[in-house]
Amino acid sequence: MIDASSTEAGGAAVLGAYRIYTTQFDIEVAADRLDAVLGPLSPADQKALDEAWHALQTGLLPWKTRLLILAAETSARIREQLGETERGDTAVSLLIDQSGSMRGQKMLFATATADIAQEFLKTLGLTCEVLGFTTSQWRGGRSRRRWKWRLRPHHPGRLNDILHIVYKNAKDDRASIGGYDFRSMLRPDLPKENIDGEALLWAAKRLRALPQSRKHLIILSDGAPVDDSTLQANGLTCLFNHLRLVADGIVKAGDIVLSAISIGHETDDIYPVIKHVEAPDELGAATLAHLEQVITGKK
C-alpha cells in the first residue's frame, strides 16, 4: 500500500534544528507497487532491468554458491552461541541506500546480498525486514517546485520527495522471497538522492513497532547523504548534521543496536559499529560477518 504524509508547505515540520518544507509528496511503498509511483518502465529501462536480473541469477551464481556455504557455517556458530528463545526474540532491519552512486555493480551485489541475508536470518528464526530509501525525483521534485513558486522562505528545510520502499516486511514469514520483490531493487529508474537521517528514523520506527526485545538496525551505504536542492537552500552540512543527530539519538535511546556496512567510504564518526568493504563483491561475506558480530555481541 502506498502511504503519503500530508504536512502542508508553509507549515514545515521541524525535527530539532532540521526542517522539512513539506511531507505531502513523501511516499512509502511496497516494492511490487513501484510502478504506481515511478510509472511503468520504458522499453530501454525494461531491457536494462532484464539484463541486470539475468546477471544476478546467472553471472553471480558462483559468488552466491560460495556465500551460501559461508552462511551455513556462520549459522552453525550463531546457533552455538544463541538459543532458540534469544533468536526468536531478535529483529533485524536491513536499510539499503538506493542513491544514484549505488548504480551498477554496487546495487547488483547489494540485491543479491539482501536476498541471501534475509533468508539466512529467517532460517535462524530471526525476524527480518529489508528496506530501501531514495527520492522519487531528482533535484527536489514537487516539494522544490512548490517552494519555488510560493514565498520561498530562506532555509526552508528538506526540499525533495522522499521514497521509502519495503522489500520484505517483518510479518512476511517466508524463508525466501527473492523473485520480483528484490528484482525491483535493480530498476534503473529508481536510484536518485539519499536523505539518510529520515530513512534511519523511518526504519527505527518500524523496528520499535515489533514485539522482539533485541533489535538491530543496519544501514548499507556508499556515501554521505546528498540532495542537491536541500543542500543549496539550507547549507552543505544540513543533511549530514541531521544524520549524526538521528544516529546519536538512536544510540542513546538504547533500544536499538545501530550499525553500518559501508562501500568505499568511511563513516566511523557516525555509527558505533561499522564494517568497511572496498569492492562490491566483498559485500556478501562482510554482511554475514557483520550480522554474526552484532547478533552475538562479539567484539
Domain ranges of the chain: 3-296
Q: What's the CATH superfamily of 3-296? A: von Willebrand factor, type A domain (3.40.50.410)
Residue 141's pLDDT is 86
Q: Identify whether the C-beta of residue 259 lies closer than 8 Å to the C-beta of residue 276.
A: no
Taking alpha carbons only, the member of 158, 231, 172, 212 closest to residue 31 is 172
Cα–Cα distances (Å) from 1 to 40, 241, 264, 280, in that order, read 17, 32, 34, 32
Cα distance between residue 109 and residue 62, in whole Å: 13
Taking alpha carbons only, the member of 261, 223, 229, 273 closest to residue 243 is 223
Residue pLDDT, tens place only, 64-114: 999 999 999 999 999 999 999 999 999 999 999 999 999 999 999 999 999
Show Cβ contacts of residue 120 under 8 Å, excluding neighbours closer than 6 positions. Answer: 71, 74, 75, 288, 291
Measured over the CA atoms of residue 206, residue 211, residue 213 and residue 216, the dihedral's sign is negative
Q: Which residues pair with 275 in a beta bridge?
A: 261
Residue pLDDT, tens place only, 220-242: 999 889 898 888 888 888 999 99
Residue 7's pLDDT is 36
Which stretches in the chain have pLDDT values below 50? 1-14, 177
Give pTM, 2 decimals: 0.92
Long-range Cβ pairs for the range 231-239 (8 Å, 24+)? 233/147, 233/154, 233/155, 233/156, 233/159, 234/19, 234/155, 234/156, 234/157, 234/158, 234/159, 235/155, 238/18, 239/158, 239/195, 239/196, 239/197
Cα distance between residue 185 and residue 199, in whole Å: 16
Cα distance between residue 203 and residue 94, in whole Å: 9
